[in-house]
Amino acid sequence: MANLFDPIRFGDIAAVNRIVMAPLTRDRAGPGQVPTPLMATYYAQRATAGLIVAEAAQISPAAQGYLDTPGIYSAAQVQGWRGVTAAAHAVGARIVLQLWHVGRISHTSLQPDGQPPESSTARRANVQTFTAQGFEQVSTPRALRLDELPGIVAAYRQAARNAIDAGFDGVEVHCANGYLLEQFLRDAINDRTDAYGGPKENRIRLPLEVMSAVAAEIGGARTGLRLSPVTPVNDAGQDSDAQGLYGHLVQQLAPLKLAFVHMIEGATGGPRDFLPFDYAALRDAFKQGSAHGAWIVNNGYTRAMAIAAVGSGAADMVAFGRPFISDPDLVNRLRLDAPWAVVHPDTLYGGGAVGYTDYPPLDLVQVQKLIAVSPAEGGQPTT
């Protein structure tokens, strides 16, 4: 039986444990959406995670949906990310970058020349985003033309190449949480009547083209995918056949031999049992096509749940989001069954070091002593 703290290899990535730091948007990029030295410090602090999925980075200027989020399309951004990956690798981390296009979850003030956001649809989402004025209602999008879609695929491909050039160990394509690729997937959002709308075979077309292009550019063994089949976030209405849709997508991805799938179970940041869904069936379909790929689960996992999921084979790895914000040493806390620190919500988005790099770890000497006598390595709760 596998243990949460055992090493694992998936694709071309070798991790020292099965704990994943989930991507977390913190809105702290510098001018030009360039990653900063402060961001390098932040990720290096969290290097005990078996895998760090760095925060979402927009693949183009039009892909941005929130203030001060980093990009991965300019030379300056690539150089900024090199500082992040160098700092993370210097302390033993494995780190991949999440590739992001928000689609309609944006505001004209964040778009090139104040243009409408681009999406699968021209229908506006009933949700707010973070701009220079604070939280504002997102703008009405425009539906992408057929002749523009190859450019979207090319932007993902180039972003993946840029990520590898910046020193990342791989990428995770964001196809979740109501952003662009999921706007094409779900029939509750996608109202197109062309080759990218209608039946599920058409609606998976753009995600498949993107994944194929990314895998062709950097290798499937360095490529992952994030999915959220039933989450309602960002006004993502439910697909009429979510099980069939996402099952078909995963089956069609099999030839790519992906390194991992990162699955959000239930409502992102909310109830895990939001709607019924057979995640095990999706996992089995993925494993049939990518036997050496990792199935990563996410959303509200406790220590006990994570140990059970890996120990039972329900998951290969478990991702934690918010706990990594306030616990840079979350892996040690999980080993010892130590309490998790409280997140300060007023410093989540924007700002500087406060609420970002100033959360203290457990005392290192005490950690070493406790690890020496703790049975937690065996997956048993400490007392």
Which residues are identified as catalytic?
179
β 8-10/13-15 pair status: antiparallel
CB atoms within 10 A of CB 222: 22
Look at residue 167 and give its three-state secondary structure. coil
Tokens 């550019």 appear where? 217
- Write out the two tokens for 280: 């095990």
Largest alpha-carbon pair distance within the chain? 63
**C-alpha angle with apex 322: 101 to 2, nearest 5 degrees?**
95
- Write out the two tokens for 236: 């993502």
- Label residue 6 left, alpha or beta by phi (over 0 means left) and psi (-120 to 50 means alpha): beta
- Write out the two tokens for 203: 């609606």
The amino acid at residue 306 is A
CB atoms within 10 A of CB 179: 25
126/124 Cα distance (integer angstroms): 7
Q: What are phi and psi of 202, to 5 degrees?
A: -80, -40
Burial of 368 (0-12, 13-18, 19+ CB in 10 A): exposed
CB-facing half-sphere around the CA of 112: CA atoms within 13 A: 5
225, containing H or E segment = strand 223-227
Look at residue 34 and give its three-state secondary structure. strand
131, containing H or E segment = strand 128-131
What's the helix, strand, coil split of the chain in %, to 5?
Answer: 40, 15, 45
- Write out the two tokens for 15: 């991790």
